[in-house]
Amino acid sequence: MMHPAPLIDPFARAIRYLRVSVTDRCDFRCTYCMAEHMTFLPKAELLTLEELDRLCSAFIGLGVSKLRITGGEPLVRRGIMTFFEAMARHLQSGALEELTLTTNGSQLAKYAAPLAAVGVRRINVSLDTLDPEKFAQITRWGRLNQVLEGIAAAKAAGLRVKINTVALKGFNDGEVFSLLDWCAREGHDLTFIEVMPMGDLGNENRLDQYLSLRDLRAGLATRLTLTDLAERTGGPARYMRVEETGQKIGFITPLTHNFCESCNRVRLTCTGQLYMCLGQEDMMDLRAPLRSHPDQPEQLEQAIRAAIARKPKGHDFDYSRQVIGGQMSRHMSHTGG
């Protein structure tokens, strides 16, 4: 059988990783991700779960081997397990190496076991603080106990949990060691993320929120021995081992260290827009060929290849000189993380 040529961008990077937003809706309103009063897309504009299946399957047929489901909060999408069940066939065939998701954890108590049953093996959970009051403040609508119960359910179901923590100056910079200690006790990996200049968040100021992970790592090194690891998981994180505990921590640093040279991923929105770079506005509308040529998959493949041919070398995020460079008008929840 002839296999189609893989997706290679203009900088010789093979595109193996697709992040897919299945909804722009979320049951939290995290201050660095959403405005408090969001206007969500009309449901008619969203791709159906069957359309998402066709799109993801097209990418998998072109060599994508890792699929991460995001949102908004993906588990609030009605009928979402039918989509995971459909994607499981690609795991069973061997075409897809990993099916995973990023979640706020609020729905995990309900969905952890079904996710494990269809072949999900690890998940990322966004968690920025272990203080209930601060958690309610940063998420606006969230309850910490609900998330901790969800994480416990994921662990009980056999899912490997990685905690994603957005580093926020003056908010959780004093909790770094307690977060590390908690993750070590629970057996979770931990990744810190620099806040990115995305979305109009009203009164929230990116410069006020921004905490350099270079500074955070220096603070960790005053008490811990950190060893750089060569490991890569297909994402932008760079990893280190804490020698005192053996645990792995990651750093995603779009501001202090541009990670674009090894970028192998693209992002699909819940409306079918393909963003070739999180930090650039250029995108390709895949909903049009998906809907106008349902019986001509070659039309969709041509659109995907045309998009990859426009993938830029990198983003332009910059907080230097106390101004925000490269800011994106769209919210992180729209692009899908």
* Sequence ranges of the binding site for [4Fe-4S] cluster: 26, 30, 33, 260, 263, 277
Q: What 3-state DSSP class applies to 284? A: strand
Q: What would the two tokens of residue 75 be?
A: 């588990």
Residue with tokens 């580093």, as numbered in its chain: 167
Binding residues for GTP are 19, 68, 102, 162, 265-267
Binding residues are 19, 26, 30, 32-33, 68, 72, 102, 126, 162, 196, 260, 263, 265-267, 277
Polymer length of the chain:
337
Q: Is the peptide bond before 72 cis (omega within 30 degrees of 0)?
A: yes
Instruction: Look at strands 189-194 and 248-252 and give their pairing.
Output: parallel
Q: Are 337 and 199 in contact (CB under 8 A)?
A: no
Q: How far apart are CA 334 and CA 337, in angstroms?
A: 8
Name the burial class of residue 176, with classes exposed (0-12), middle (13-18) and buried (19+) by CB atoms within 10 angstroms of its CB.
buried
Q: How far apart are CA 289 and CA 286, in angstroms?
A: 6
The DSSP output letter for 158 is T
E runs forming strands in 147-258:
160-167, 189-194, 226-228, 238-242, 248-252
Crossing angle for the helix pair 213-221 and 176-186, to the nearest 10 degrees? 70
Binding residues for S-adenosyl-L-methionine are 32, 72, 126, 196
Q: Are 53 and 87 in contact (CB under 8 A)?
A: yes
Instruction: Tell which phi-psi region holds residue 60, choosing left (phi > 0), alpha (psi between -120 and 50) or beta.
Output: alpha
